[in-house]
Structure 1
Amino acid sequence: MADGSGENPAHQAAERAARQAYGRILSILAARCGDIAVAEEALAEAFARALSNWPKSEPPDQPEAWLLTTARRYLADQARKSATARTHAGALLLLIEEGQSVMTETNDIPDDRLKLMLVCTHPEIDPALQTPLMLQTVLGLDAARIASAFLVKPATMGQRLSRLKARLRKSPIAFEIPAPGAWPQRLDAVLQGIYAAYNAGWDELSDTGLADEALFLARLASRLLPYETEAAGLLSLILHCEARRGARRDAAGTFVPLDEQDTALWDTDRIAEAETLLGTALRMGRPGRFQFEAALQSAHNARHITGTTDWAAIRAIYERLVAISPTLGALIGRAAAMAQTGDPQSALAALSALPENRIIAHQPYWATRAHVLKLAGDTDAAREAYGRAAGLTADPSVRAYLLARRAAL
């Protein structure tokens, strides 16, 4: 029986399984069959069968185990039918059957997603598509959400991923986990994927699943590579941001910007952990993008101790950051810091210098530009920029906040 939302319980169970275990199941299948594209095909078939079979009865008690078993059986069937796989069918079937009884009796599915992310950094995969491929295969994001993270049209991202997967099917990249000695060379792409996943889950206030997944993967990367300073930097960055999650909305669900948040609501245990990680990483003397990003959040979170925000320090950190990683977010953030330190004209010049094709539909740009214009005293332009920023957000609470700022001018 459907709940008040009108959705079928079987569909809801499938959606939860996709959100919570897609990457874990896919990584197991890919490790067993040795081919990411084939594993995706098997898992897609398992979901299709779930949507067909589950509505006819109650969803299984353990949807993830059901999906894994169904996908394994599909792989076995395909191996039996495939002439090219005939010589490997015996070994493949043994791998598929390995632990199958355990997997149908428990929901304790092992987590090999970090391994799958390393596989996605194979040298034959275009570096520009490695992170999008991770987001789709490891975390199950659709092309629209991935496109939003990379500031491209959903159709464009969908075409790029489709072409890549078509090529992989013709020349399959084996599920070969690089030796630990090669991990540092592939680490940057993996960290970029985890960070992109966290950004995609940043606004999931009612369901923090994707942000939690990114935090888990960041912890795993840091634990497996304890001497890699950027892994520690990324974990510190995510912890600093997650420490403020409980303060980003008030009791009525209204959006609260960072500078207005009640610091008593911040998670000081997470801040302390983040500070320890960042301090250890910086002492190793190999600074990088994620350490500077974490340092920025550390400077913001210091307000829970000092009561004020040290914008001069934040601007200095941004200067270091853009020198090594001039991402759009970093350049916009630096402009905001310029304005906050009494230099709104330089901030406007910096914002105006950004490529139009990258900022035309980028909501954070217009929200920042509106604030800078307000500080510069250009009320009419600020009002217009607030309107554009409000029109580019899908969050009703953020839209209401921006429109209130415009109305107050």
Structure 2
Amino acid sequence: MNGEPAAAAEQAARRSYGRLVAYLSARSRDVAGAEDALADAFEAALTRWPRDGVPANPEAWLLTVARRKAIDTLRGRRRGEAAAAWLEWLAALETPADTGALPDRRLELMFACAHPAIDAAARAPLMLQAVLGFDAATIAAAFLVAPAAMSQRLVRAKAKIRQAGIGLAVPAQAELAERLGAVLSAIYAVYADAWTDAAGTDPHRRDLADEAIWLARLVASLLPQEPEALGLLALMLYSHARRAARRDAEGVYIPLSEQDATLWERPLIDEAEGLLHLAVSHGRPGRYQLEAAVQSAHLEGQRRGRVDWAAVEQLYAALCELGGSPVAALNHAVALSRTAGAEAGLARLDALQAELGGYQPYWAARAELLGRCGRHAEARQACEHAIALESDAAVRRFLQDRAAAWF
């Protein structure tokens, strides 16, 4: 194996995580058991692949090892006819080497995780862990929840799937819509995590962005009459179209307002525009349609040289009314500062500090508005908070340069 063997083994294993969890747990409904077996398989890969080389079909190798681990565990812990039937199925399980490809059952697992019997707050996080292998700490950060609390939610949710016998299959058409919100939330969280790697230096996050868009396309094709599925795909395509413009040749971070629009991928933007128009035509507005409309307004304004801040402010106001998200309220405050002045935006931000005090964009926005109001000492302090909370070195440098320019 060329390069870093251990890193290559880990990357190959991660690419198959969700497919293998879904495939192994489809019959047993034991998501936690499938994850345990795969964890052992990944550990074996990291030990053996650097020594023996990456197998021709990594997915088949991982499935074979995970299947053996699951069989060993079942033999040691389970008795009775149900266990015997499950063991027989595992023993006869076909691998990708036998069939040419492993059926992709991730979407089935995602809709199973969105079953009404599972706590609503655990549905999207469970998808992130079971389908894409996120750890509890990463998921907790995405949902602004303490890691210990998130871990407990995930354990309970997996136990519920097993105990309630929740089937891992795409539900009937009539049941799809009621589970859709959690599925879309999980897909968007995956893309948002990938988006944090603006420089594209993390191969795993690059793969995640493509996986998220693939899943969004699959859901939109499965539910073409659901405007929020179309809206989410549009939102992600708008963002993805700008990825090449987010860093310059030296890796310096470039905010949307200063990006070179000629670097944007016009075909993706055109597709997003078409999807958004189709979604809006259904007459059922929702979060993702509104967020996609904000992206559309920003991109169009950037190309024309003038953002319609009144329209953006109205869109964020609608988002706040719809869901009450503190992040939407933050963006509304920034837009309000453009239409009603920096003081009005600051007043809106003041009410959000308790909820967003550990969120870098809150402090960056606060620093900018304080600076515009001439309150330079407070702006400098807010900027220092933002810099301390930011993990991306390029964004930290951008904030430091802005602070120097303001003060």
TM-score of the aligned structures, taking structure 1 as reference length: 0.91
Q: Deviations over 1:246-289 (max 9, x none)?
A: 00000100000110000000111000000000001101111111
Report the equivalent of 1:216: 214
1:37 aligns with one of 32, 35, 40: 32
Q: Deviations over 1:225-263 (max 9, x none)?
A: 000000000000000011111000001000001100000
Residues 1:391 and 2:384 are matched in the alignment: no
1:195 Cα offset (Å): 1.0
Report the equivalent of 2:187: 194
8 Å CA contact 1:332–1:365 kept in 2: the answer is yes
After TM superposition, the structure 1 stretch with the greater mean CA deviation from structure 2, 207-216 or 240-249, is 207-216
2:379 aligns with one of 363, 379, 382: 382
Report the equivalent of 2:141: 148
8 Å CA contact 1:264–1:304 kept in 2: the answer is no
Q: Deviations over 1:139-175 (max 9, x none)?
A: 1111221111112333442344345445666666443
3-state SS of paired residue (2:229): helix
Distance 1:80 1:156, change over 3 A: closer
Report the equivalent of 1:401: 398
- Equivalents in 1 of 2:163, 2:23: separation in Å? 22
Q: Which amino acid aligns with 1:129?
A: A
Distance 1:22 1:107, change over 3 A: farther
8 Å CA contact 2:233–2:272 kept in 1: the answer is yes
Residues 1:119 and 2:112 are matched in the alignment: yes
Structure 1 spans left out of the alignment, 5+ residues? none
8 Å CA contact 1:221–1:231 kept in 2: the answer is yes
- Equivalents in 1 of 2:374, 2:349: separation in Å? 16
Structure 2 spans left out of the alignment, 5+ residues? none
8 Å CA contact 1:32–1:92 kept in 2: the answer is no
1:369 aligns with one of 347, 366, 371: 366
- Equivalents in 2 of 1:88, 1:269: separation in Å? 52
- Equivalents in 2 of 1:295, 1:138: separation in Å? 29
Q: Which amino acid aligns with 2:326?
A: L
1:98 Cα offset (Å): 4.1
- Equivalents in 2 of 1:240, 1:171: separation in Å? 40
The total of aligned residue pairs comes to: 401
Q: Which amino acid aligns with 2:213?
A: L
- Equivalents in 2 of 1:307, 1:96: separation in Å? 63
2:48 aligns with one of 22, 30, 53: 53
Q: Percent identity?
A: 47
3-state SS of paired residue (1:408): helix
3-state SS of paired residue (2:16): helix
8 Å CA contact 1:36–1:173 kept in 2: the answer is no
2:17 aligns with one of 13, 18, 22: 22
- Equivalents in 2 of 1:363, 1:229: separation in Å? 31
- Equivalents in 1 of 2:80, 2:176: separation in Å? 30
3-state SS of paired residue (1:285): coil
8 Å CA contact 1:36–1:174 kept in 2: the answer is no
8 Å CA contact 2:107–2:170 kept in 1: the answer is no
- Equivalents in 1 of 2:109, 2:159: separation in Å? 19
Distance 1:180 1:78, change over 3 A: farther
Report the equivalent of 1:75: 70
1:177 Cα offset (Å): 4.0
1:126 Cα offset (Å): 1.2
- Equivalents in 2 of 1:43, 1:22: separation in Å? 8
Q: Deviations over 1:377-402 (max 9, x none)?
A: 22221111111111101000000000
Report the equivalent of 2:316: 318
8 Å CA contact 1:278–1:294 kept in 2: the answer is yes
Q: Deviations over 1:342-364 (max 9, x none)?
A: 421111111111151x2121111
Report the equivalent of 1:129: 122
After TM superposition, the structure 1 stretch with the greater mean CA deviation from structure 2, 301-310 or 323-332, is 301-310
1:210 Cα offset (Å): 1.4
Report the equivalent of 1:248: 246
Q: Deviations over 1:290-346 (max 9, x none)?
A: 100100001011135423211111111111111112212111110110112242111
- Equivalents in 1 of 2:67, 2:324: separation in Å? 44
After TM superposition, the structure 1 stretch with the greater mean CA deviation from structure 2, 347-356 or 286-295, is 347-356
Q: Which amino acid aligns with 1:45?
A: D
3-state SS of paired residue (1:123): coil
3-state SS of paired residue (1:302): helix
- Equivalents in 2 of 1:19, 1:88: separation in Å? 29
1:37 Cα offset (Å): 2.0
Aligned positions of 1:215-294 closer than 5 A: 215-294=213-292
8 Å CA contact 2:246–2:253 kept in 1: the answer is yes
- Equivalents in 2 of 1:251, 1:375: separation in Å? 30
- Equivalents in 1 of 2:388, 2:130: separation in Å? 31
- Equivalents in 1 of 2:170, 2:90: separation in Å? 17
RMSD of equivalent CA atoms: 2.2
Report the equivalent of 2:337: 339
Distance 1:46 1:81, change over 3 A: same
3-state SS of paired residue (2:132): coil
Q: Which amino acid aligns with 1:198?
A: Y
8 Å CA contact 2:71–2:90 kept in 1: the answer is no
